[in-house]
Amino acid sequence: MGENTVTSRFNEIYDATNKQALTFITAKCGNVDDISDILQETYMEVYKVLGEKGADYIENDEAFVIRIAKQKVYKHYSALEKRKSDLSLTVMTGGEEIDLLDEIPDEMDLEDSVCNSELVEQIGAYIKKKPQDIRRIFYLRFSLDLSIKEIAEMMETSESNIKNKLYRTINEIRDFYGKGEAV
């Protein structure tokens, strides 16, 4: 099996599945800072399998990649860490189950005078301080464009839980940055 064939097959699989793999890892990881590592480990394994078994070995690209991603996520965390992560999905603390989706306008009233890139950095730093589940929800929603329903399914929790966490965070960002206050 030629190296070029393996490389081109790898590229084909990578292009077709990287979003799904990234979404899966983001939803399931214990720490979002590990996403990059787990994603790379996942595709390293895919690349290795292609090299060892041949470019035709993988029949269902997405199923295969997701299965390896699952293993990599499981392997990446100790049983205890995984358990904590699991529990954090089911434990809810406070917050009315109000459909905030309808109440939030598309645009927020951020100060136009604030430099956008600086604002992006500030909000990024703020998000980094949030709990893992909130960070995952934020990235799944805004970077991977998943709907509330899709995020709830991926994270195995209720839509209202996701809405609460997401919109509470958005409101916090508005409170801190929309009025020009520093955190």
Q: Which residues bind other proteins (CB under 8 A)?
A: 3, 6-7, 10-11, 14, 18, 22, 26, 32, 35-36, 39-40, 43-45, 47-52, 63-64, 67-68, 70-71, 74-75, 79-80, 82-83, 86-87, 90-97, 106-108, 110, 116, 119-120, 123-124, 127-128, 135, 138-139, 141-144, 156, 158, 170
- Min dist CB 56 to other proteins, Å, is 15
Q: DSSP letter at 78? A: -
Beta strands in the chain (DSSP E): none
d(CA 12, CA 72): 21
State which residue, 26 or 163, has the beta carbon closest to other proteins: 26
d(CA 172, CA 183): 10
Query: Which residues in 110-121 are b (16+ Cβ under 10 Å) and which e?
Result: beeeeeeeeeee
- Min dist CB 162 to other proteins, Å, is 14
- Min dist CB 120 to other proteins, Å, is 5
Instruction: Report CA torsion sign: 129, 130, 131, 135.
Output: negative
State which residue, 97 or 99, has the beta carbon closest to other proteins: 97
- Min dist CB 92 to other proteins, Å, is 5
State which residue, 100 or 119, has the beta carbon closest to other proteins: 119
State which residue, 102 or 106, has the beta carbon closest to other proteins: 106
Q: Specify the amino acid at residue 135.
A: R
Query: Which residues in 39-60 are b (16+ Cβ under 10 Å) and which e?
Result: bebbbebbbebbeeeebeebee
State which residue, 70 or 176, has the beta carbon closest to other proteins: 70
